[in-house]
A and B are shown apart, each in its own frame.
Chain A
Amino acid sequence: MDYSGERLLPGQLGHFFIILSLVASLAATFAYFKATASKNNPEKDSWKRLARISFIIEAISVTAILGLIVYINFNHLFEYQYAYKHTSRSLETKYLMACTWEGQEGSFLLWSFWHCILGLVVIKTSRQWETPVMTIVSLTQVFLATLVAGLYFFGEKVGSNPFVLLRNETAGPLFSRADYLSFIKDGNDLNPLLQNYWMTIHPPVLFLGFASTLFPFAFAFAGLWTKKYGEWTKAALPWALFSAAILGLGVMMGGMWAYESLTFGGYWAWDPVENASMVPWLTLVAGIHTLLIYKHTGRALKPTFLFFIFCFGLILYSTFLTRTGILGDTSVHAFTGEGNSLKIHLLIFMAATLIPALVLFFTNNKYIPSIQQEESSSSREFWMFIGSLVLFLAGIVIIGKTSVPLFNKIFNTNIAAPEDVEFAYNRIQVFVAIVIGALTAIVQYLKYKQTQRKLFWKKIGVPTIIAAVIATLVLGFGNINYNDKGIGFLAAIWVALVAAIYAAIANLLYIWIGMKGKLKLSGASITHFGFALMLVGILISSSKKEVLSHNTSGIFVPLGEGNKITGDPGDNLTLVKGVPMDMGKYMVTYESDSSHAEKPLWYYRIHFKSKDGKDEFTLTPTAFVNYKGNEGLMASPDARHYWDHDVYTYITSLRNPEAAKDTTSFKSKDIKIGDTIFYSAGFMVLEKITSRDSLPKELFGENGALYEAQIKIHSKNNTSYTAMPKLAIAKGNTLPVADTVTSESLVLKLNSVDGNNVQLGVKETESILEYVTLKAYKFPFIRVLWLGVIIMVAGFIISMIRRNELNRSARQAEDLNFSKQQNG
C-alpha cells in the first residue's frame, strides 16, 4: 500500500548512518588494532591514518543520527515510533530536546556521542597512547552501535532502531488505511514526571560522566597491552579527574532533580538507578587515589589497574541492572525490559571488554612493578590506600544490596527489599562516612613514605582545635537529635558529623598550611573540602529533616485520630481552599489553583505565614491530574530556600471529583432563638430573626415576606462564622435562599418561620469543598550539600588542569632533550 503523508527521507538517512556508524566503528577498531600491533613505522602510520578516518566517519554518523532524531521530534513526524512514543505537540523546545534521550535508543546514542567527542580529544592529544586507547574506544563504539542497529543476525534481532515506523511496529485497524497518518493528531508525550528542566540538563551530563569512565579503563588496558605498565598513569590521571568531576556532578544533579521535582521526599532514596551510577564513581575515586600513591611512591599500581577496570565494568553492570528490567518492582525509575536480547547483548558487551582486560592483567601480573618492602604506618600512602579500599568496598556493599533482585532470579530465592530501604543503607554507610571523613581530614597532613611526628602535630594542631570548637558548637546547639532509629544510630551520626566537620576545616586550612594559599596547586584540598561539605550537608539534612505537616489540629481530623494505632498524627495535612490551617510555626492557606493552557498540569498556590508574622511566602507545588486517562496525580514539589534550610511541600492527594457528587440531604431542625444545634465539627446558635418591610410589590405580591436568620457557628478549632440564610415568601411561593459556610462544609436553609420558631435545614456536604492534601518538610542545610558538590567538582577540574599542565611541560622537556640529542 502507498501511505500518504509520510516523510520517509529522515528515516532512510537514519538507517544509512546507523549502518555507516557500525561499519566505521568496526573499521576503526580493526585499523587501530593493527596500528598498535604492527612493529614497523610506515605500516603503523598507514593503519593509523585509516583508523582516524574511520573514527571521524563514526563521529559524524553518530552526530547525524542524533541530529535526525532531533529533527523528527521537533517536526512531529509521528510516522516514526520514536516521535510518537516520546513527544507531543504541546511540548516546549527544551522538553522536545529532552525527548531525544527519553528512550533507550536515544540515551545509548547520547552515550555513544560523548565517546566520539572524547575520542577525538584522544586523537588530538594522546600521541603514543592514541592507537591502543582508541582500539578500546572503537570497540565499545561497535557495541553501542549494535545496540541501536535493530538488525537481524542469524534470526536474532540485535538492538533497537530509533527510526522504525509506527505502522511497522504496532498493529491496529488504523494502519489498513493509506491516510492513517492524518488520524494521528498527537504523540504520546514525554512522561510528565520527566517534564522538568533537569531532564534537559541531567542526562547529557550524566552520560558524559558515563562515557568518560571508559578512558581511564582504556589507558589501563593500553598500559597492559603495550607492556608499559607504569607510563600510562601519567596520561590517564587528567582523564580520571575529569571523569570523577563529571560523573560526580551528573549523579548529584540527579539528586537535585529528585529533590526539586520528584516526590521521594528528598534527594537520595538509595534507588537502584542512583546506586548504580554512584558505585562506579566511588571506585573511580579509589582508583585516582591509588594512582597518586603509585606516582609518588611506586606502590599500589596493581590496585589502580583493577579499580579502573572495575569502574568501567560497574558502569556496564549498572546499565545491565537498570536497562533490562531485571530489577522489576524495586526501582522507581528503571527502564523496562526490551526482552532477553538486550540482556544477552549487554552481557556480551561486558565480556568482550572486561575479560580481555582481566586476562591481560593476570597474565602480566608478575611483570607489573610493585614494591615488596612494607610501607610505614606513618606514611601517607598507607592511609590513602586504606581510604581507597574503604570507598571501593562501600561501593561493593551498595551494589550487592542493589543486586538482590538479580540474586533472586539466579538462585531462585525470594528476598524482598528491606522495610526501610534508606535506613538499611544509611546504617552501614554512616560508618563509611566516619572512616572516610577522618581519613580525609588527616591524611593530607601526612607525608609520603615517612612522616615526622613533630611536624605533623605542629601542622595539624590548629585545624584540629578549630574543628573541635566548631563541632562542639554544632553538636551543642544544633539540636541534632534524630532518635527515630535509636540512640546508637544517633551516636554514629554525631561521630560522622564531627569527622566531616574535621575534614572540611582541615582541608580548607591545608590550602594555606600546606600549599601557601596557591589555589592552582590546591585542587586536592579544594575537592576534599567540597566532599566534606557534602558529607556535612548530607548528615544534617537527613537527620534533621522535619515533617511540618503533622495533622495535629485540623478542622477535619481531631487530635490523635490520624493514626489510631500508633498515636502518630500522620504526615499528611488537608487544606480547605481559603481557610488558614495551623502547621507548625506556620499558618498555611490553600489560596487558589490554575491550570496549564495545554496540559492537565495544575498549579496550587499555597500561602505560608509564620505565626510571629515575620515571614510570609507562597509556594506553588504542581501536579499532573488524570493525565492521559491515568487516573490520579503526578505531583512535583516546590520549596522556599533559606540560607540554612528549605521549606518543601508537595501535593499528596486531591479531592476525588467523582466522590464530590452531592448526595447528602438537608436535615430539618425545629428551633427557637437562642437554641443550639450540634453538627459534626462544632455547634451553632440561632441568634436572631429579622423580617424586612416595604418589599417591592411587583416581586413579592400581596402578603410577601422576607425573613433573615442570623446564625453564629462555632467550630471545634475556635473559629466562628456567621451565616445568614433567608426565606422569601412571594406570590404564595416560599423561596429559601440558603447560605453556605465553605470551610465547615455547611449549608443552612430556612424552611419556615413562625414568630420566634423556625425550622432550619442543615446539610453537611463535601461537594462544596475544594481541598488538597499535602506533605511539607523542613530540610536544614540542604544548600551546604549543593555548595559542597560545586566546590568538589571545581576542585577536580583544578587538579585536572594542573595535571595537564604538568604533563605538557614534561612533554616539552622531553622534546627538548630529544632535539638536543639529535643536534648534539
Chain B
Amino acid sequence: MKKIQIVLLVLIAVSIAVLISFLKASPTYDTVDIAKSKPGKSVSLIAKLDRSQPVEYDYKNPNFLSFTVIDSLGGKVKVVYHNPKPDNLEHSERLVLKGAINGDYFECKEILMKCPSKYKDDKKVIEKSLPTSMLSPASKNAEIKY
C-alpha cells in the first residue's frame, strides 16, 4: 500500500470518528422529565412559557431572568437565565432552551424563540400587514359601504 493511501485512510477514519463523537456528544431535544432525570447534563428543552407563573425580571439587573416553562407532557420547571429578557418572551409560542438542570431549576444558557411574527415572508403576516380598516385617516372621506 502506498504511503498516500495510508494517509488517506487515516484521515478519513479520523473525520468519521470526529463526526460520530460529535453526534454522540450532542444533546438531544428532551422533555422536562427526561431533563430532570439527568441533572447537570446539557439538553435542549422544547417547552412553552407557563403564563400562570410570574416572569421574574428586574430591568435594574439585566443579568437575571426567571420564569417557568411547561412542556407538551405537562412537565414544569423553573428556568433561570443570566442575560437580558428577550423582548418577545411573553409573546412566544414555543421555546427551545439550551442548558441543564441545576438543583430545582433549569440553568439556561440560550433561548431560541418561535414567535408568531418572526418571519415576514409568511403569507399570513403579509395579510395581517395590509390595511384592513377602510376608515384609516387617509380614507375617512371615502367611507364607502360595500
**Contact in complex: A570, B107 (CB < 8 Å):** no
Contact call A572/B63, Cβ cutoff below 8 A = yes
| A568 at the B interface (CB under 8 A) | yes
Q: Within the complex, what minimum Cβ distance (angstroms) separates A649 from chain B? A: 14
Knowing A397-B15, A652-B83, say if A336 contacts B22 (CB, 8 Å).
no
**What are 12 A-to-B residue pairs whose CB atoms are below 8 Å?**
A173-B132, A174-B132, A188-B126, A400-B19, A416-B27, A428-B18, A557-B60, A630-B88, A632-B88, A652-B62, A653-B85, A766-B60
A567 CB to nearest B CB, Å: 11
Q: A191-B120, A397-B15, A557-B60 are in contact. Are A565 and B126 (CB under 8 A)?
A: no
* With A417-B98, A561-B61 already in contact, 14 other A-B pairs whose C-beta atoms are closer than 8 Å: A176-B146, A177-B144, A182-B139, A336-B119, A374-B4, A382-B4, A393-B12, A401-B19, A404-B23, A419-B99, A424-B25, A562-B64, A563-B64, A564-B64
Residue B122 interfacial (CB < 8 Å):
yes
Q: Given A375-B4, A417-B44, does the pair A183, B88 have CB atoms closer than 8 Å?
A: no
Contacts of B100 in A (CB 8 A): 419
- Distance between A774 CB and nearest chain B CB, rounded to angstroms: 9
Q: Mark A165-205, 1 if CB is under 8 A from B, else 0.
A: 00001111110110000111100100100000000000000
Q: Is the CB of B123 within 8 A of A336?
A: no
Residues of chain B lying within 8 A (CB to CB) of residue A50:
none
Map CB proximity to A onto B130-146 as digits: 1 under 8 Å, 0 otherwise: 11101010110000101
Contact with B along A548-567 (1 / 0, CB 8 A): 00010000110001111110
Inter-chain residue pair count (beta carbon < 8 A): 178
Are B130 and A184 closer than 8 Å at their CB atoms? Answer: yes
Interface residues of chain A, those whose CB is within 8 Å of chain B, are: 81, 84-85, 103, 169-174, 176-177, 182-185, 188, 191, 329, 335-336, 374-375, 377, 382, 385-386, 389-390, 393, 396-397, 400-401, 404, 414-420, 424, 428, 551, 556-557, 561-566, 568-574, 628-633, 652-653, 655-656, 659, 766, 771, 773
- Assembled-state Cα–Cα distance A758/B123 (Å): 65
The CA of A385 and the CA of B5, in the complex, are separated in Å by 11
Query: Most chain-B Cβ atoms within 10 A of its Cβ — which of A172, A177, A656?
Result: A172
A562–B98 touching, CB < 8 Å: no
Q: A557-B60, A557-B63 are in contact. Are A397 and B26 (CB under 8 A)?
A: no
A177 CB contacts on chain B under 8 angstroms: 134, 144, 146
Of the candidates B19, B43, B63, the one whose C-beta lies within 8 Å of that of A416 is B43
B84 on interface, CB distance cutoff 8 Å? yes
A418: chain B residues at CB < 8 Å are 22, 25-27
Contacts of A564 in B (CB 8 A): 64
CB atoms of B26 and A417 under 8 A apart: yes
B127 CB contacts on chain A under 8 angstroms: 170-172
Select A570's contact among B43, B82, B146, beta carbons within 8 Å.
B82
| B112 engages A329 (CB within 8 Å) | yes
* Residue in contact with B123 in the complex, picked from A169, A183, A188, CB distance below 8 Å: A169
Within 8 Å by CB of B130, from A172, A390, A420, A572, lies A172
